[in-house]
Chain A
Amino acid sequence: MPGGIPARPAHVLLDVAPLSDESLLAGMAAGDAQAAAAFVRRYQARVYGLALTIVGSPATAEDVAQESFVKAWRHAAAYDARRGRVATWLLTITRNTAIDAVRYHREAATDPDVLLGVLDGRGEAPDPQASDVDTSEQLRSALRGLPREQSRPLVLMVFYGLTAKEIAALDGTPVGTVKTRIRRSLRALRQRLGVADA
């Protein structure tokens, strides 16, 4: 159109890589396709990694990861930065979606002891790219230092969404014992991270 503002060629993309998580999420909420693509690219390894850690099957993990991004996209406008980081928010969505996949679709989950080995670093080397490396490595080390009888029920609750009662039934342990072990494990982890109890 003579005299008009030339349209940006389709191949010229805005550089969205440096944008914060919050900005990308806001872009997604506003329907910005580039922001959505950058957001997916930034988080796909973490989202898929968590899904795979819980469900064990690559095909199911991809379904879970895809559903998690769709949920995040749907609810992006409702994200409240005061209630936590984007990574935490997105991975909580992923965790819940993976738990739903295991429960409602009767998918076989990763063996809890294998999962524990992956989390505490016995399974593979620590990830140098993870954010808050110090905290994560301290926590990984602290988890490794816990007796298996304490770390296992904690992992069953946090990653498989099991209640103390369900863990008790699964492991043939009294409910009170399960609760005590979980409380002790949490206390030990908090102390290791330097957080004092009230």
Chain B
Amino acid sequence: MPETPQCAEVRDLIPELAAGVASGDERARVLAHLAGCAACRHVLEETAKLVDELVLLAPEHEPSPGFESTVLAALQPRPVRPRRPLPTLVLRAAALLLVAALSAGLTWWQGRDDRDLAARYRHTLSVAHGSYLTAAAVTTAAEPQAGHLFAYQGSPSWIFVTLTAAPQSGVYDIYLVTTDNRTVPAGRCTVADGQGSYGVTIDLPIRAIQRVELVMPGAPILTARLH
């Protein structure tokens, strides 16, 4: 397949994509092109392998003698099985409970002093020792309200996205775009008839997430801005 102007543009972005530093917009543009260009996919694969090999060049160093026991102790306090990303249904229930509790608090305390609402919010968060819950509309350039994103700062922190009017059906890749413009993959959300939902625990602090993007080649990017 001959190289097109789009190939040239994409290959300009491939190093940043392979190194995991491309912005969400750039990543979306590249992915959309890669879906139909085997030559550029090959270049990305080879570049990603090279980046991996470069990382492997770092020399070995032995940590201090107590390191191993410290690490193993850090793995001990948790249950026998390692923590996995919570199943969508569990997260959905948790998110709905939290949102319902906050909504109920809003309704119940309507007309009362704002401090009561704040107290209710704090109590709700204290149930699981969370720090805060925030929410944002999921939008596209043409659709101001395609769904909602909820982000919970706690242990673990999680995001939960629910779509009610996505422009196209299919499987969307979810990316967290950090405040310093790094892009972190966070899973996939299946959308049918404009609707879908997905939740996942995350390691990044919520405050470090600038926006969440749902990307599918050929479809408008769905964006929820947290900052």
CB of A195 within 8 A of CB of B46, answer: yes
Contacts of B23 in A (CB 8 A): 163
Asked if B93 is an interface residue, CB under 8 A from chain A, the answer is no
Contact with A along B12-43 (1 / 0, CB 8 A): 10011001111100000000000000011011
CB of B84 within 8 A of CB of A74, answer: yes
Return the contact of A50 from the options B21, B55, B80, B81 (Cβ within 8 A): B55
Give Cα distance in the complex from A42 to B53, angstroms. Answer: 19
Would you list which residues of chain A between 111 and 157 have a CB under 8 Å from chain B? 118-120, 124, 127, 129-132, 135-136, 139-140, 143, 154, 157
Contacts of A82 in B (CB 8 A): none
Give Cα distance in the complex from A78 to B170, angstroms. Answer: 22
Asked if A169 is an interface residue, CB under 8 A from chain B, the answer is no
Asked if B5 is an interface residue, CB under 8 A from chain A, the answer is no
Contact A40:B208 (CB < 8 A) given known A139-B54, A157-B16, A179-B15: no
CB of A158 within 8 A of CB of B81, answer: no
CB of B55 within 8 A of CB of A95, answer: yes
Contacts of B51 in A (CB 8 A): 158
CB of A45 within 8 A of CB of B68, answer: no
CB of B60 within 8 A of CB of A49, answer: yes
What is the interface size of chain A, counting residues whose CB is below 8 A from a CB of the partner? 75
CB of B82 within 8 A of CB of A31, answer: yes
What is the interface size of chain B, counting residues whose CB is below 8 A from a CB of the partner? 52
Chain B nearest Cβ from A118, distance in angstroms: 6
Contacts of B115 in A (CB 8 A): none
Return the contact of A179 from the options B12, B40, B61 (Cβ within 8 A): B12
Asked if A84 is an interface residue, CB under 8 A from chain B, the answer is yes
CB of A84 within 8 A of CB of B82, answer: no
Asked if A37 is an interface residue, CB under 8 A from chain B, the answer is yes
Return the contact of B68 from the options A40, A132, A154 (Cβ within 8 A): A40
Contacts of B39 in A (CB 8 A): 198
CB of B55 within 8 A of CB of A66, answer: no
Contacts of A41 in B (CB 8 A): 68
- State the total of A-B contacts with C-beta under 8 angstroms: 166
Most buried by A among B22, B23, B57, B79: B57
CB of A186 within 8 A of CB of B50, answer: yes
Closest to B83 in A: A74
Give Cα distance in the complex from A124 to B61, angstroms. Answer: 12
Chain B nearest Cβ from A74, distance in angstroms: 5
Contacts of B208 in A (CB 8 A): 104
Instruction: State which of B70-78, B129-137, B144-152, B219-227 sits at the interface with chain A.
Output: B70-78
Contacts of B15 in A (CB 8 A): 157, 164, 179, 182-183, 186
Give Cα distance in the complex from A77 to B87, angstroms. Answer: 13
Contacts of A53 in B (CB 8 A): 58-59
CB of A71 within 8 A of CB of B203, answer: yes
Contact A127:B59 (CB < 8 A) given known A71-B203, A163-B181, A164-B16: yes
CB of A46 within 8 A of CB of B60, answer: yes
Asked if B11 is an interface residue, CB under 8 A from chain A, the answer is yes
Closest to A120 in B: B57
User: Can you spell out 26 A-B residue pairs with CB atoms less than 8 angstroms apart?
Assistant: A36-B75, A41-B68, A44-B63, A44-B68, A48-B62, A49-B61, A50-B55, A50-B58, A66-B67, A71-B203, A75-B84, A78-B85, A84-B52, A88-B56, A92-B52, A118-B58, A136-B56, A139-B50, A139-B54, A158-B51, A159-B55, A163-B21, A163-B181, A164-B15, A186-B15, A197-B46
